[in-house]
């Protein structure tokens, strides 16, 4: 009973950041006719103003809002791309902040790109092991198969969480070092600044929150190993 209660509390702690991020972004995602353009239009305007005409603004296909440094594209979900809301405007500015980091050779952003590539390699290795180890264990009945499964679960899920935590300063800089000064220069009203700060915090924590939620899969694999 105590173990189950501990698991429930742990799951709530892991999911709480993601629930908070969703709540904040949803709260300020109401149409505001005072904005002269949508999130996508603001992103295009800011990129052109900052001399980043070669960076495209595109709809995010099956992914959340993000900046793709390989294709040099700011990608926004349909609601952010088309709507005139504080969430759309602020999120667009955050992603433009990443494009600005990239263009200026911001060193932590460059480290993040390298770490992200490394994480993808580990995740592929982990996925392969998660598929192969049960088959190997059934054939060989080797006790080490359980340890390999644990390593596979960590490389698939844990490395992604670690990378997001290490690169959190990059997200924070995109929000408060880049996007907020831009927004405060006439793109939002004074009485919207505090709400914009909340949205920018949510934007900065989005990937960490999603990665933390992925830890639930890690515990699921541990429960499999205990059987």
Closest by Cα among 56, 82, 80, 79 to 69: 56
Closest by Cα among 211, 215, 218 to 64: 211
State the Cα–Cα distance between residues 15 and 45, nearest whole angstrom.
35
Strand (E) or helix (H) holding 76: strand 73-76
pLDDT at position 137 is 61
For the chain, what are the domain ranges? Answer: 2-226
pTM equals 0.79
Q: Are 94 and 174 a contacting pair, CB within 8 Å?
A: yes
The SS3 assignment for 137 reads helix
pLDDT at position 152 is 65
Closest by Cα among 46, 49, 24 to 37: 46
**CB-neighbour burial class of residue 171 (10 A; exposed 0-12, middle 13-18, buried 19+):** buried
pLDDT at position 112 is 86
pLDDT at position 31 is 74
- pLDDT per residue, tens digit, the chain (227 aa), is 555 665 566 556 567 777 888 889 999 998 766 889 999 999 999 999 999 999 999 999 878 899 999 999 999 999 999 999 999 999 999 999 999 999 999 999 998 888 877 767 666 666 666 666 666 666 666 656 556 666 666 666 667 677 777 778 999 999 999 999 999 999 999 999 999 999 999 999 887 766 666 656 555 555 554 45
């Amino acid at each position: 009973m105590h173990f189950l209660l501990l698991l429930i509390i742990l799951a709530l702690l892991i999911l709480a950041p993601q629930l908070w991020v969703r709540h904040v972004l949803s709260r300020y995602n109401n149409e505001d006719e005072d904005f002269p353009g949508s999130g996508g239009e603001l992103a295009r305007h800011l990129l052109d103003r900052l001399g980043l005409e070669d960076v495209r603004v595109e709809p995010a296909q099956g992914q959340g809002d993000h900046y793709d440094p390989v294709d040099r594209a700011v990608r926004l979900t349909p609601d952010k791309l088309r709507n005139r809301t504080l969430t759309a405007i602020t999120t667009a500015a955050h992603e433009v902040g990443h494009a600005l980091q990239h263009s200026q050779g911001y060193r932590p952003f460059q480290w993040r790109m390298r770490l992200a590539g490394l994480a993808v390699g580990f995740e592929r290795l982990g996925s392969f092991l998660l598929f192969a180890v049960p088959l190997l264990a059934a054939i060989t009945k080797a006790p080490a198969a359980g340890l390999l499964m644990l390593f596979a679960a960590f490389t698939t899920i844990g490395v992604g969480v670690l990378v997001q935590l290490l690169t959190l300063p990059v997200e924070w800089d995109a929000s408060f070092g880049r996007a907020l000064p831009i927004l405060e220069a006439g793109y939002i009203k004074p009485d919207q600044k505090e709400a914009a700060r909340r949205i920018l915090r949510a934007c900065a924590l989005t990937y960490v929150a999603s990665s933390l939620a992925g830890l639930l899969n890690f515990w699921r694999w541990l429960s499999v190993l205990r059987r």
